[in-house]
Structure 1
């Protein structure tokens, strides 16, 4: 399997989320590159980094959804939890000496693309509307603070 290429239909329109998704794509591609070298220690490092970054990304997304009042945020969080468990199983299999890298990379690729295009796309409008409302409120707050405190 060749490198994963970012496609426009993966954009959610939320800059930070899109940047994080691109970073995950880069990490999946790095996993492919390291696999070609057959360096177990570097593979372990990439796997750990990928899992850690993905968990941080999920926490970020979940916070955005909750703050925006997205009505399916609990279900979305559950999907994240199940996926993290699945990836942790891959890490345990790797630690046990099993060669799971290609299977993991294929799973990550399929899951990520589907998840962004479906579940993430579903919350994007709610989060963007919330962010726009917040920026308007911050404008009001900023004006009020300047009025009172110069």
Structure 2
């Protein structure tokens, strides 16, 4: 959840910061290509964006945490993800071709990782993000081992 909160906060800072810079540039340079009522009240744009975005900083991480789930059974990896729309993916372990563990900047700072599970079909591939590094390494190793044991001749 911390990963999603950090991503939302960075997005908020960038959006409001860039809109503040644009508003100060428009207000300070005396742009005459815009109507006077807009240049006189252009500082409302970053304020309005901040007011609209603040609830998302709190709601989005909680919502995504409530939705994102994963489970590993004997022969299937189940992953559920989404924000507005939900996606359920069932990946048969026997169809797994590669299992990768990845870390972005924020994940590395927080000691988290993402496990990428790839099959021959893009639709059958999945990713599980926000896992503790040790859990991700163990899951990736276990999946690779099981996939090797359950491999069948089908493509």
Relative to its length, the structure with more strand (as a share) is 2
TM bin, normalised by shorter chain, reads 0.3 to 0.5
Q: TM-score, normalised by structure 1?
A: 0.36
Relative to its length, the structure with more helix (as a share) is 1
Query: Rg larger in 1 or in 2?
Result: 2
Q: TM-score, normalised by structure 2?
A: 0.35
